[in-house]
Amino acid sequence: MTHKTSPNLVELDAIAWRILECLQQNARMSFAELGRKVSLSTPAVAERVHRLEDAGVITGYHAALDLAKLGLSIRALVRLTIPGGDVQVSRAVAAIKELPEITRCHRITGDESFVLEARVVSIRHLEALIDKLSALGATSTSTVLSSPVERREYHASHIKSFDRYS
């Protein structure tokens, strides 16, 4: 792996990309199985994975949960506008981190300050969450009907196709 001009970009070879593709499909794959898929020995593939982790390309492993099966069947996007400056934003971030319904929080450009993704059990639950968030600033809420792209796996060809925008 070599660094490109930007310190955040890591240039990957074909084997590294194949490792990433396999791990995106099944992060629980053993090093032995992963090695077989990419034609490397178990120690060699383990070393490659560790280098990808050390470089910050692989940032973690997790279990994907079906939150609807856990009772959180309503997904909502809440746009939150915080009045004032950095102190109010910092307070809002601290408060948002304490709300277990919030699954993602993005600080954004534009009229709003944040876009939040939330999971709730009912419309009543959503109303209570919006009431809590309204204490931080103005809200605008949408419920998610479906998610045609839930989680995208990335391949070398995807990233290379973006080069024309550099």
Residue 70 predicted with pLDDT over 90: yes
Mean pLDDT for 44-49 is 98
Same domain membership, residue 54 and residue 74: no
pLDDT value for 161: 84
Mean pLDDT for 135-150 is 96
Token pair listed for 36: 């077989």
Letter for the amino acid at 101? E
Number of domains in the chain: 2
Q: Does residue 113 belong to any structural domain of this protein? A: yes
Beta strand ranges found along the chain (DSSP E): 2-3, 10-11, 74-81, 102-107, 114-120, 138-143
Same domain membership, residue 78 and residue 138: yes
Name the band, by pLDDT with cuts 50, 70 and 90, for residue 6: low
Q: Which residues pair with 105 in a beta bridge?
A: 116
Tens digit of each residue's pLDDT (9 = 90 or more) over 87-111 = 999 999 999 999 999 999 999 999 9
Mean pLDDT of the chain: 92
Mean pLDDT for 22-44 is 97
Range of the domain at 8: 2-62
Same domain membership, residue 133 and residue 108: yes
